[in-house]
Each structure stands twice: as C-alpha cells, then as structure tokens.
Amino acid sequence: AQSVSQHNHHVILSEAASLELGCNYSYGGTVNLFWYVQYPGQHLQLLLKYFSGDPLVKGIKGFEAEFIKSKFSFNLRKPSVQWSDTAEYFCAVTPPRGGYQKVTFGTGTKLQVIP
Amino acid sequence: DGGITQSPKYLFRKEGQNVTLSCEQNLNHDAMYWYRQDPGQGLRLIYYSQIVNDFQKGDIAEGYSVSREKKESFPLTVTSAQKNPTAFYLCASSTGTDNQPQHFGDGTRLSIL
C-alpha cells in the first residue's frame, strides 16, 4: 500500500527565511505527486503537481518542488516566505494510471510565518 | 464560478443520532470523495464514488454511509455506529481521469453534544 510521510509537523519561520518541507512516499511504481495548501479558514487548494518530465516543478505563489526518484522524495521549497504563507501543507500521491486514482495524503505540516 | 459546496459549515449532533452532511458540485466531475481530517492525521478517505449509483468504501468507512443518486450530489451520513464522529469532514471531486487533481469544498465541522 502506498503511504506518504511528512516529518515536519509544525514549522515556524521568520519572514524572508527559506522554506523546505519534506515529503517521502512509499510505492512500488511510478507515481503522481501533489502539494496542497490549506490557508486558515479556507479549503484545500492545489499548490503544484508532478506527473512526468522535468523533476523540478514550479507552482503558484513562488513555490516549487523537486521530485527525486532515488530518494522517493518530493520536497516543497520557497526561497523567501511571507506572513501570508502561514497555512497547513499536505503532500499527496496517486499511482499514475488505471481508472480511479486513490489519493494518499500525508499528515500535513503546519507552517507559521512570523512577521 | 464552479466549485464544491458543503453544508452546513458547523454541525452538532447528540449521541445516538444519525446526521447527514451535504456535498454538491457544479464542476461536472464524475468522481466524488469524502475525507475525514483529524489533527496530526492528515486526510483519511471514508468513501468515494467514480460514477452515479456506484460508490466504494475507503480506509475508514465503518459508521458512515453514502449515496450517489445524482452526479452533482454525494451526501455523507454519519451514523450512531461511528464511535468518534467529532472531526472536520471534507468533500472533494475530480474528473476521475488520470493525473487530475481533486477539488475540495470548505468542509463541515461535526461536534458531538
């Protein structure tokens, strides 16, 4: 069964600091990878996704993620965080093809950015 | 604008009662999902439906039931058999085809009185 691990449960950063949130998955084949963000009081939104091709994926609001197949990782990065990035971030994985795609979510990382 | 509407936003239930959470989408998506979100546990899949009149159990279906009589609607009933129903419930939908992400509603927070 596929699983997703997010080791950082709560991260506190000052504005302008660099961000890297870890995401590791376990699955025996190729996967699709997603990062979702949940701002306070809002619904989950897609931040970025990787299906194939360039392993460095650019998303909205200056976020990017790098897929490293050998490490089964898909870490989320941002060079300089802002207070408005305070949110909970979820990594998710699905197998690449075959009808219904069961999405497996990580446990989430709460990011708090201090002005 | 298209989207997913969950209602109500907050719901209170007495012990022993069944309660139904509404989820409606106007995205013309075939697939719909219900998740439960608990602190520190991420999102766990309760039920999903790939098409009208068909649905499948997810990882934590015990104590829950669903129906999918219309493409737009996927209501979730939390039954009295669910021993720990207090949680945040999220509904999502997708086209159901490969590589497509899910779209989420704003959620319903259920509390037991």
pLDDT value at B102 more than 90: no
pLDDT at B104: 92
Average pLDDT, chain A: 90
Q: Which residues of A63-78 are buried (b: 16+ CB within 10 A; e: fewer)?
A: bbbbbeeeebbbbbeb
Q: What is the pLDDT of residues B29-88, one digit of tens each?
A: 999 999 999 988 889 999 999 899 999 999 899 999 999 999 999 999 999 888 889 999
Query: Do residues B30 and B95 touch, judged by C-beta distance below 8 A?
Result: yes
Q: Does A12 touch chain B (CB under 8 A)?
A: no
Contact A90 B90 (CB under 8 A): no
Q: Does B9 touch chain A (CB under 8 A)?
A: no
Which of B48, B94, B104 comes nearest A44 by C-beta?
Answer: B104
What tokens does B42 get? 């991420």
- Compute the distance between CA of residue B72 and CA of residue B1 in angstroms, rounded to an integer: 15
What tokens does B11 get? 């719901």
Q: What is the pLDDT of residues A47-57, one digit of tens each?
A: 999 988 899 99
Q: What is the pLDDT of residues A58-101, one digit of tens each?
A: 999 999 999 999 999 999 999 999 999 999 999 998 876 654 56
Contact A107 B90 (CB under 8 A): no
Q: Residue B68 CB: number of other CB atoms within 10 A?
A: 19
Q: What is the pLDDT of residues A20-52, one digit of tens each?
A: 999 999 887 788 899 999 999 888 999 999 988
For residue B108, what is the DSSP state? E
